[in-house]
Amino acid sequence: MAFTLVQWLRSLGPDRLAELLRVRSEILVPGPRSLSELANMLSSPLSVGAALHRLDTGCHDALAVICTLGDGCTRDAIERFLGVAEEQSGTELDRVLRVLQDNAMIWPTAKDNTYRLVGPLRNANPMELGDPAEKLLQPHTATTLRAIADALDLPPTKRKADSLRLIKDFLSDPEKVRAELAKAPAKAQEVATEVAWHGPKIRPSWGPTPAAKSPEMRWLTDRGFFVEEKPPVYGLLEMPVEVGLALRGPDYHPPLTARPPAPPTTALDSAEVDQAAALAATRLVDGVARLLERCATNPMAQLQNGGIGVRVLKQVAKAFKADQHDVRLWLETAAAAGLLSCDDAGNIVPADGAEQWREEPPAQQYVSLLRGWWELPYAPTADRMAEKPGPALLGASDGIDRELRQDLLGELAEWDRGQALTEQAQIGAVLAWKRPTIHGSVTDIADPLLFTWAESDAVGATARGALSAFGLHCCKGDDEALRSAAEKLMPGARKTALLQADLTAVVAGTPSGALSAMLNLMADPENRDTASTWRFSPASVRRAMDQGHSTEDLLRSLAEISDSGIPQTLEYLINDVGRRFGELKVRPVQCCVLGDEALLLEVSRNRSLRDLALRELAPTVLASRKSAKETLAALRKAGYSPIQQTADGTVAVERVKKSNDRAPIQLRDEPYWSVPEAPDADEIREIAERLLAQPDEVQQQRTHDDGIQIELLSAGMISAELLITEHAVRLADHEIRLLVDAVDNETPVHIEYLDQNGRSSSRIVTPFDVNLNALEAYCHLREDNRNFRLERIRAVSPANLPNGTAS
Of 538, 556, 580, the last residue of a domain is 580
**Domain end residue (candidates: 547, 563, 580):** 580
Comparing CA positions, the residue from 582, 581, 584, 579 lying closest to residue 624 is 584
Which parts of 575-711 are beta strand (E)?
584-587, 592-594, 615-618, 621-623, 642-644
Handedness of CA 386, 391, 393, 394 (dihedral sign): negative
Indicate whether 61 pLDDT > 80: yes
Residue 128 has pLDDT above 80, yes or no: yes
Q: Which tens digits make up the pLDDT trace of 573-628? A: 999 999 888 888 776 667 888 888 889 888 888 888 988 888 888 888 888 888 88
Same domain, 160 and 206: yes
Residue 606 in any domain: the answer is no
- Residue 103 corresponds to which amino acid? N
* Co-location of 381 and 288 in the same domain: yes
* Domain-embedded: residue 786: yes
Please tell me what DSSP assigns to residue 214: S
Check whether the bond before 30 is cis (ω within 30° of 0).
yes
Predicted local distance difference test score (pLDDT) of residue 741:
85
Q: Are residues 503 and 481 in the same domain?
A: no
Return the bridge partners of 616, or none. Answer: 622
Assess whether 410 and 507 both reside in one domain: no
Contacts of 162 (CB under 8 A, 6+ apart): none
Whether residue 674 has pLDDT greater than 70 = no
- Cα separation, 169 vs 162, whole angstroms: 11
Q: What is the pLDDT of residue 405?
A: 94
202, 174: one domain = yes
Q: Is omega for the bond preceding 200 within 30 degrees of 0, making it cis? A: yes
382: Cβ–Cβ under 8 A, 6 or more apart, which residues? 401, 448, 451
- Residue 599, domain member (yes or no): no
Which residue, of 580, 605, 628, is where some domain finishes? 580
More confident residue, 715 or 302: 302
What tens digit of pLDDT does each residue of 522-563 get? 998 887 766 788 999 999 999 888 888 899 989 999 998 888
314 shares a domain with 348: yes
Residue 108: pLDDT above 80? Answer: yes
Contacts made by residues 645-649, CB under 8 angstroms, sequence distance 24+: 645/585, 645/586, 645/587, 645/594, 646/587, 646/588, 647/587, 647/588, 649/587
Domain membership of residue 653 (yes or no) is: no
Average pLDDT, the chain: 85
Same domain, 323 and 394: yes
Q: Is residue 672 part of a domain?
A: no
368 with 459, same domain?
A: yes
Which CA distances in Å does 218 have to 184, 215, 617?
11, 5, 111
Q: Are strands 265-267 and 340-342 parallel, antiparallel or unpaired?
A: unpaired
The pLDDT of 183-212, averaged and rounded, is 81
Q: For residue 614, tell me if it sits in a domain.
A: no
Q: What is the pLDDT of residue 738?
A: 87
637, 17 Cβ separation under 8 angstroms:
no
Residue 339 gets which letter from DSSP? -
Asked if pLDDT for residue 564 goes beyond 70, the answer is: yes
With a cut of 60, say whether residue 704 has pLDDT above it: no
Say whether pLDDT at 783 is over 50. yes
In a domain, 691, yes or no: no
Total domains, the chain: 5
**Is 531 a domain residue?**
yes
Q: Is the pLDDT of residue 732 over 70?
A: yes
- pLDDT value, residue 718: 44
pLDDT score recorded for residue 217: 87
For residues 315 and 732, what is the distance between their CA atoms, to the nearest angstrom?
54
Q: State the maximum Cα–Cα separation within the chain, in Å, rounded to a whole number.
A: 129
The CATH number assigned to the domain holding 785 equals 2.30.30.100
Residues 394-414 have pLDDT tens digits of: 866 666 888 999 999 999 999
Considering the domain architecture, whether residues 311 and 435 belong to the same structural domain is answered as: yes
Same domain, 348 and 241: no
Given a cut of 60, whether residue 699 has pLDDT beyond it is no
* Digit-coded pLDDT (tens) for 137-170: 999 999 999 999 999 999 988 899 999 999 999 9
Q: Are residues 113 and 47 in the same domain?
A: yes
Domain range for residue 553? 498-580
- In which element (H, E) is residue 784 found? strand 784-789
Residue 698 burial by CB count (10 A; 0-12/13-18/19+): exposed, middle or buried? exposed
Check whether residue 85 and residue 172 sit in a common domain: no
pLDDT band at 774, cuts 50/70/90? Answer: confident
